[in-house]
Structure 1
């Protein structure tokens, strides 16, 4: 079996498994293992390296190298061993790994919990549900704020939770997909500009910015197409994407948020509370109407449509070319 055909087929199977199964909380997951690895390495490296700014920077660089090398290397060894036994075994294992690196259904399902709580009028439960998927303080949010937070996290994570890993899986199979997921998990754990991680987490944050630079922009374009396919305002999505995609401190975070805001004719982001401190952020989108709980489900539909466009472009088309070269 051709290796390229094998890993693209594994991606296709993994994508379907993700849509069917999501992310059962009881099942082992590589991201949780990567998280445990990062926590252990952080404790060790903070002991080994000086507490000076230079020492923390150096320790952060070592953290990046080890966090990328270990999961990627283990994935390569696993698939190589399976391939020696049987190409079909390698296909099966890579399909499962690919499935675990994608988060389309789990992202939609977790945001759906916020909608369900709002639908029953339980604002406290909605705040709790959205706190599980966002990093901001949620105890001050009203219904519109909870709705916006859920829509924003669906839009933002469409890139680094679905489209970007799909792109890396398509290019380099499960090893490259694991490489990306390790970097992204590391950024989510240590890539903060606070006293604890300003220096230690800088390398992780910069590396994540580099890896997501192209995928974030492709994700924004694909989300504009997804908005059209899902029946929402694709023209406005493209307009807001072009206008507001750079309105974020991160060079990558606002692309899909801008596209989604335009598609739903909402104004997203703006000032938010983090750890008891109000952080000023620019608004994304136009205030054409008030947010409503149904917008969470609408964002989920756009997410699915965007994911299918990405699958077609980065997996379906190359697979067809390889299977039918003439």
Structure 2
């Protein structure tokens, strides 16, 4: 029951405060652990495809074990001392894991920068995407921002919430480790093709169910916001697999359909032109205000997912007591 309340309060704290500028964040610690462990493993294992694959598996095991064990041990010790101390700590952990307001603020920064100049818009979006941004048009910058918000509705909000409600903050930190590993080493390039393949595949597995929950919640959110939920469903059914990842296009397709815009398409990564299918129909030109609409859709879907998740968890908690 206290874990359920920690999830709800953590979401509320993220809504109010977001991530304070300059504050230490546990995901930064996970990122540092990945970087240092990668350097060590590259020295220990042979630089062959097989050696790099094994090193990548070892990296995943070490980072995920530490990311789960540390918060689990902290909460275990605090519960032994005082359950309310553990509750306070878990609430803080949940707050740090959620990234809804951070995503919204990222969209606002890109919108503001793009309002100043295209160069500023390119610079702002470069902090949030992996593609090359130096030659993006204004439409390309807007599209990248909308795609980031839509895709990260899963990674930054609903997937962590899903794992929190199952196993509390420790399991959510395990998920963040999986997700951070994918974002740091899960690239299809010369350096990480073999080393990061395991991390990329496991991230797909972890996000499989949450991405589909996020899409359904986003469709519901589109209806609540008076967007076109019917078209959101149509594009979701048609384009949800128009991405190399089995999960990324789930929410992007809903967003594209709800807003009647086209996302996806080819882009440059690390100087190479990568062909990607489009998502949605080109019913109208994408505009700067679509960044805010995508953020509103993300927020509404997140609240809907939270209420649904809390209801299910409370039902599971109290049903045995009622019938017992």
- TM-score band, normalised by the shorter chain? over 0.9
The match for 2:70 among 71, 74, 81 is 74
Q: 1:39: Cα distance to partner? A: 0.3
2:220 partner SS: helix
Paired residue secondary structure (1:111): helix
Question: For residues 168-179 of structure 1, what are the structure 2 equivalents within 5 Å?
Answer: 168-179=163-174
Check the 8 A contact 1:158/1:219 in 2, yes or no. Answer: yes
Unaligned runs of 5+ in 2: none
Helix, strand or coil for the counterpart of 1:289? coil
Paired residues of 1:9 and 1:319 also in contact (CA < 8 A): no
1:248 to 243, 247, 254: 243
Match of 1:93 in 2: 89
Give the Å deviation of 1:138. Answer: 1.1
SS of 1:199 mapped into structure 2: coil
1:150–1:296 contact (8 Å) kept in structure 2: yes
Aligned pairs, number: 321
**Alpha-carbon separation, structure 2, partners of 1:226 and 1:203:** 34
State the alpha-carbon separation in 1 of the partners of residues 151 and 290 from structure 2.
Answer: 15
Moved more, 312-321 or 52-61: 312-321
1:141 Cα offset (Å): 1.3
SS in 2 for 1:248: coil
SS of 1:38 mapped into structure 2: helix
5 Å-filtered alignment, 1:1-326, equals 5-119=1-115, 121-319=116-314, 322=317, 326=322
Shift of residue 220, structure 1, vs aligned partner: 1.1
**C-alpha displacement at 1:72, in angstroms?**
0.5
Stretches of structure 1 that go unaligned for 5 or more consecutive residues are none
User: What CA distance in whole angstroms lies between the structure 1 residues aligned with 2:141 and 2:24?
Assistant: 30
Cα distance in 1 for residues equivalent to 2:316 and 2:170: 23
User: What's the offset of the Cα at 1:320?
Assistant: 5.9
Partner Cα separation in structure 1 for residue 49 and residue 290 of structure 2:
44
Counterpart CA distance in 1 for 2:225 and 2:145 is: 18
Deviation of the 1:319 alpha carbon: 2.8
The Cα shift of 1:23 comes to 1.1
Residues of 2 paired with 1:118 and 1:34: CA distance? 32
What is the rounded CA distance, in whole Å, between the counterparts of 1:103 and 1:17 in structure 2? 11
CA RMSD of aligned residues (A): 1.2
In the TM superposition, residue 168 of structure 1 has moved relative to its aligned partner by 0.3
Q: Which 4+ residue blocks in structure 1 deviate beyond 3 angstroms?
A: 320-326
Q: TM-score, normalised by structure 1?
A: 0.96
- Give the Cα separation in 2 of the matches to 1:54 and 1:133: 32
**Are the counterparts in 2 of residues 144 and 292 from structure 1 also a CA contact under 8 Å?**
yes
- Distance (whole Å) between structure 2 residues aligned to residue 201 and residue 207 of structure 1: 10
TM-score, with length taken from structure 2 = 0.97
